[in-house]
Amino acid sequence: MFKNNNVKFLFAILLTAIISAGITFAVVQKDSGLSQAQGKSDDPFEKLYSTYDTLKGEFYQDTNQEKLVDGAIKGMLQSLDDPYSTYMDQEEAKGFNENISSSFEGIGAEVQESDGKIMIVSPIKGSPAEKAGLKPKDKILKVDDKSVEGMTVNEAVMLIRGEKGSKVQLVIERDGVGELDFNLTRDTIPLETVYTEVENGIGKVQITKFSETTGKELADALNKLNDQEVKGLVLDLRQNPGGLLDQAIAMSDIFVPKGKTIMQIENKDGSKEVQKSQNDSAVNVPVVVVVDNGTASAAEIMAGALNQSAGIPIVGEKTFGKGTIQTAKSFEDGSSIKYTIAKWLTPDGSWIHKKGIEPQHKASLPAYANLPYLNPDKELKQGDSSAEVKVAQQMLKALGYKNVKTDGFYEETTKNAVTQFQAKYSLKSTGTISGETTIKMLETLQAQLKENDTQMEEAIKVLNEQMQ
């Protein structure tokens, strides 16, 4: 399967996590009390220094020097109008570094600022966010009844994160659906980022993010698959929010022939750096890549490289579309700034920012994959009429209870279907949907989706055509 196992891994860390920042300043001018500037200075920072001195000396309450300085830094980054450039205080910087390099406790979803709102890029595999049914492009409106409007992503993340076992309630807005309530129990988000399985001689490799260990995990996984003599590989990059640039380059190097372009970096002055594969391709079996609208950043770099420079076909849905590179600068007090330093381009020079990558073979999941989450704490019963009832009816329909209406009114046929479902799974026969019944419906639907993964089926079909 492999031509050689001497895969070179690069470790020059360029961060590509998805965070943003923002701050608002309000100025009230009284009719008197503002002094006039005495001439114009050539020092562009005089106004900044003067403002600081004025507030320290004349503001009607005591001021905090650290907060004033932090606010000025936040304001500078916010003025860039770039959702990926931000200031992080000590606590936020610690959380950011944990997300890149180790496990952490929370709900397991990458978020960013989009048009002034906090948006989910992708839930992480096996996380509370994924199990609850949060989707890419969901916009977070409230956390535990507290509005996140006007917050930076860092501030919102600090509200969402918490100790394992603690609960958090989110109100999100989903396009075409409206507002939805999610009650999640926080958990430890694991370090492992590469998962494999073999089916009918085909190796399936799911990569969930690009952290410091992902390149080594992939190399180890491919070596194990080599021992099992698989005939082809499916690389699953769905719901992968990205991560470290160096890992994306090193992992692409395994598949892209030596000397071929992996990506291009376009600097501020327009100059371009071309990143080429440094090794002979280590894989010599057919490969297919699967993507969706949660495939972002470093995952898009890898998908683009494998497609354009190794001729590997892409299956699925258009990707997220993040085409910029970030780095970080840390300060002695533990705070840091993260800012965009360049664009990245695909091997053919395309900038996919806000556009995404279009797969050659389009495939969508069944419609029920996009059904909203149902809150197990909320009871749905005969006589109720609501959007939640309609969702429950659509779930029952997808699970094979064909006589159920999907009009949002909980009538006799819905109650009968629920009773049948409860009997099938040895649940208390109440005819109502709540608690264990809701959880079992969600779990059963998720298991059915795994068995009816139409995107993976299409990928295997394309792979089989290559293997013939």
Residues designated catalytic = 297, 322, 326
258 three-class SS? coil
Q: CA 93, CA 113: separation in Å to the nearest integer?
A: 17
How many other CB atoms are there within 10 angstroms of residue 227's CB atom? 9
Q: CA 18, CA 457: separation in Å to the nearest integer?
A: 30
Q: Which of 7, 6, 10, 17 is nearest to 340 (CA)?
A: 17
What crossing angle do the helices spanning 412-424 and 387-398 adopt, rounded to 10°? Answer: 50
- Measured CA angle at 217 (ends 336, 123), to 5 deg: 60
Q: CA 16, CA 296: separation in Å to the nearest integer?
A: 10
Q: CA 393, CA 375: separation in Å to the nearest integer?
A: 14
CA torsion angle for 351, 270, 340, 101 (degrees, to 10)?
70
What crossing angle do the helices spanning 245-253 and 214-227 adopt, rounded to 10°? Answer: 20
Beta strands in 81-124 (DSSP E): 86-88, 104-106, 109-114, 117-123
Helix-then-strand count for the chain, H and E: 12, 19
Sign of CA dihedral 435, 437, 441, 446: positive
Q: CA 64, CA 17: separation in Å to the nearest integer?
A: 30
Alpha-helical segments (H) within 5-89: 46-58, 65-78
Q: Which amino acid is at 149?
A: E
Decide if 165 contacts 186 (C-beta within 8 A).
Answer: yes
- Measured CA angle at 213 (ends 207, 218), to 5 deg: 45
The structure tokens listed for 381 are 């019963």
Which residue shows structure tokens 């595999």? 125
Cα 306 from chain centroid (whole Å): 21
Cα 304 from chain centroid (whole Å): 18
